[in-house]
Structures are given as structure tokens and as C-alpha cells.
Amino acid sequence: MDNNWPLWEIFVRSKNGLEHRHFGSLHAADEEMALENARDVYTRRNEGVSIWVVKSSNITASNPENNGELFEPAQDKVYRHPTFYKLPDDVKHM
């Protein structure tokens, strides 16, 4: 049965104010069923206040073969991280 169902990526917002995060994926026939399935699979232990479902085929992903040209040039450029500033104690979630 689920061989015929497309794959959906599930994003859950665990608390108001936080962003939706990728929780996993599941099979469903359409977006309504994907929402209900996501509710049962990912939020039954009180994990969420909001769910987004996106058909996996609608996501364009980078190709791991291109990791060299995409990501490696950034590896020796530590100065692009703002790590050389002193952070006041009051600032959280940085």
C-alpha cells in the first residue's frame, strides 16, 4: 500500500517562538493525510504546536558529489564567523 504513496518531509514547531524543524519523513496519499499521519507519528508525546508537510519531491537538494566546490572553500575562512567578539552575558541563544 505505502509503495504507492509519495514521501513527505515533516517539519514541527515544538514551541511558539521557535522555528519549525525537520523531524523526519513519512508516506501519505495527499497533504491532508500527511498532516494527520505526522500528528500521530511525530507529536503524540507532546512534541509540537504546529506542523508543516512538504512533498519530498518538491525539495531540491544539493548533490553530495559537489560538496567540494560548494562547502570546502569555507573551511579555512574562520574569520567569517563572528567569533572574535565578546558576547555579553545577557545575550542567550547565539
Cβ 51 vs Cβ 29: under 8 Å:
no
Query: Least CB distance from residue 25 to another protein, whole Å?
Result: 11
Q: Which residue in the set 40, 47, 67, 71 belongs to the binding site for another protein (CB under 8 A)?
A: 40
Q: Which amino acid is present at 40? A: D
Q: Which residue in the set 1, 59, 78, 91 belongs to the binding site for another protein (CB under 8 A)?
A: 1
Smaller CB separation from another protein, 30 or 74: 30
Site for another protein in 6-35 (CB under 8 A): 26-29, 32-33
For binding to another protein (CB under 8 A), which residues are involved? 1-2, 5, 26-29, 32-33, 36-37, 39-41, 44
